[in-house]
Structure 1
Amino acid sequence: MSCGRSSTLARPMISAMQSIVTRISNRELVGLSSCRAFSSGSNAALIKLLRERTGAPMKDVKAALLQCDWDSEAAFTELRKKGLAAAGKKAGRVAADGLLGVALQQERRAAAVVEINSETDFVARNDLFQHLVSQVARAALSVDSIPGSQAEAAVINLQALEAAKIELNHPKLSGESTISDAVAEVASIMGENVKLRRGFFLSSSTGVVASYLHSSTQAGLARVAGLLTLEPAISDSQSGDHQAELSSLGESLAMHIVAQRPLFLSKDLVAPEALQHERDILTSQALGSGKPANVIDKMVAGRLSKYMQEVALLEQKYVLDEAKTVKSVLNEFAKQFQKQYNIGRFVRVEVGEGIQREEKNFAAEVAAQAA
């Protein structure tokens, strides 16, 4: 297939035949040298640069470069003809919509949640996109993660996750590929910027892992998710005959996490910088009242206590019964089943949180498309 090189058909027949023979010989030599040089830094760098420029899957970038004798501009043109360079142009657009994928593996007492973003809810509702999210979540169960501090979930290594392989089985896209390439392929098919943003992992050796998915489109997919582990106070203790009740409690607490947005597990684990930041704000507010210093100190202390109750999970009012706290719910369960369980780690994830959405100027957008 041509990569845009000049034709020799306008030359006399004999000259053309000689040129063709010469080019075939040269092409063979170029092919041999290219094969030898593929592992060299220069060709690897070409693949990297063209992949970053286009957003196309690595296998397609490599194939285009080989086809075009490592001419990056010609390869770029070939990728554009195939529609594979489109995703790169969209990479600068904000992807703040999307879905969460949650995968549970009860035999390992493990769970993973991943966030994959799209630009619009339209793509998030597409079955190909949802298939991708589900497969990536399953793969995340087996990828290395960075342990979280205190009661936080482990953070999945995104580089390792992108390099992991998945098997897609969808009418529009099937076969094995790396997650990075699969995301790029889906972006090209959907015509939007699609991005694997983050992932978290939780596991328990003797307890349970529970989850709650809010605004769930289908099993394992949602826009908001809460996950936690419930650990026996005695490490070698097993859940025994109350496994169903423990799982139900875990799901209710995961629902609470989604609804109440706790930032820390307990008062003792509130980050010092967060506490100081809140103290500074409350002090400034109290000083405006013009009251004596001793009164201001009491005002700040009281408001700090309320802040702790709002951000510390164990201190929060239980969403299913506000007469109780989460801590008291755990204690009641311990009395009923003669076995104490504590929340080990938890995480709340919401699609698009923390992403600054761009303000769209509809008139400018229409004008740009018409230009």
Structure 2
Amino acid sequence: MALSSATKRFLGSILHNRLLSSSFTHADSRCGVGGGGLAIFSRSFSAEVSSSSNQMNLIKQLRERTSAPIKDVKAALIQCNWDIDAAQKDLRKRGKVLASKKSARTAAEGFLALAQTESKAALIELNCETDFVARNDIFQHLALSLAKQALLVEGASQQGAEPFQVGPENMEDLKLYLEHPKISGETTVQNAITEVAAMMGENVRFRRGFVMSTSLNGVLSTYLHTSPQPGLGRIAGILTLEVEDGNSQLDALQRVGSELAMHVVAAKPLFLTKDLVSSEALESEREILKSQTLLNNLSKEVGSPVKIGSFFRMEVGEGIQRLEAESSASEPVAQLV
């Protein structure tokens, strides 16, 4: 029976669609997609997204633990097959190697850190290369911890007019206890500095320190300038006031002592009394002579003669540029009397 043209076209269309469907099914099975291939692809994509999310989480965790640059954190995790504990150990090891290589670089930034009791104060200078690192709370915690440790240095408790100098040679082997979330536990001063240098990626250096004590009938006053938090500053002034009568008004002595410590920072004095000032330096030292009026008034107020026992001024980075130009020069100790 002859088929009409319309019927032939209809049957041809059905046959074509079936052949096309069969072809796609065969191709999909070869690529691992046919027979539920879309579901397999979906599961694979979800696994990749989940893995990527976990990796980002590990990077974030290790970054929070170590404060290391993100690129170093990621590289350590990849090298350690995303084992976060192994990566942390690897970062510390590599950081210490880099810190050793950077130890010769100039470090003129940082902070002075102060620790104080009623009769004794310790002031240390901790340097780094940039103010960015100086603002880091880990660096600041180390500086404050070093100042507290300096108070305990053997020989620093002796009473006397002269400040007791404390340097790396006095402290680097001493025990130091750190209580920061990212760096805690007991270690040595030298190891703590190396550890922080590794974390910061800069040269971190304990440069110098002083401990000053006062007599039983005296008070010790301090002032820190440009202070981001208590106990830290870029310029410091420390002085002792000595009074003959031990029963004098302590509040009045402390009030005037604080004013004079601030004056030491502002005026950069080199002399205690007019008799010690040369004619050449008289004009530049005129401001410190005004303190004598304060002492006279204070003596009348407390009913006993008051005098300045000793004082000194210290500033972050002072003398370092000069040392770069003259490598044979010795470092400035501090302006002290």
Structure 1 residue 331 corresponds to structure 2 residue 296: yes
Counterpart of 2:311 (choices 346, 351, 355) is 346
Corresponding residue number in structure 2 for 1:158: 168
CA contact (8 A) 1:124 1:130 kept: yes
Per the alignment, do residues 266 and 309 of structure 1 end up closer, same or farther by CA in structure 2, a change over 3 Å counting? Answer: farther
Misfit runs of 4+, over 6 Å: none
1:133 Cα deviation (Å)? 0.5
5+ residue gaps, structure 1, are 1-77, 271-303, 319-323, 360-371
**CA distance in structure 2 between the aligned counterparts of 1:187 and 1:307, rounded to whole angstroms:** 42
Equivalent runs, 1:1-371 vs 2, <5 Å: 82-106=94-118, 109-144=119-154, 152-206=162-216, 207-232=218-243, 234=244, 237-240=245-248, 242-269=249-276, 304-305=278-279, 307-308=281-282, 310-311=284-285, 316-317=286-287, 325-356=290-321
Deviations 1:232-289 (A, max 9, x none): 1x2xx2144x21111111110000000000123235556xxxxxxxxxxxxxxxxxxx
**CA distance in structure 1 between the aligned counterparts of 2:178 and 2:149, rounded to whole angstroms:** 12
- AA at the equivalent of 2:257: G
Larger radius of gyration: 2
Deviations 1:83-103 (A, max 9, x none): 320101111110000000011
Identity of aligned residues (%): 47
CA contact (8 A) 2:109 2:129 kept: yes
Per the alignment, do residues 250 and 81 of structure 1 end up closer, same or farther by CA in structure 2, a change over 3 Å counting? Answer: closer
CA contact (8 A) 1:145 1:156 kept: no
Secondary structure of 2:95's aligned partner? coil
Secondary structure of 2:263's aligned partner? helix
Per the alignment, do residues 175 and 80 of structure 1 end up closer, same or farther by CA in structure 2, a change over 3 Å counting? Answer: closer
Number of aligned positions between the proteins: 233
Corresponding residue number in structure 2 for 1:58: none
CA contact (8 A) 2:95 2:201 kept: no
**CA distance in structure 1 between the aligned counterparts of 2:307 and 2:97, rounded to whole angstroms:** 51
1:154 Cα deviation (Å)? 2.2
CA RMSD of aligned residues (A): 2.5
**CA distance in structure 2 between the aligned counterparts of 1:88 and 1:81, rounded to whole angstroms:** 11
CA contact (8 A) 1:151 1:264 kept: no
CA contact (8 A) 1:151 1:265 kept: no
TM-score, scaled relative to structure 2: 0.64
CA contact (8 A) 2:264 2:313 kept: yes
- AA at the equivalent of 1:253: L
Deviations 1:71-112 (A, max 9, x none): xxxxxxx99964320101111110000000011111xx0001
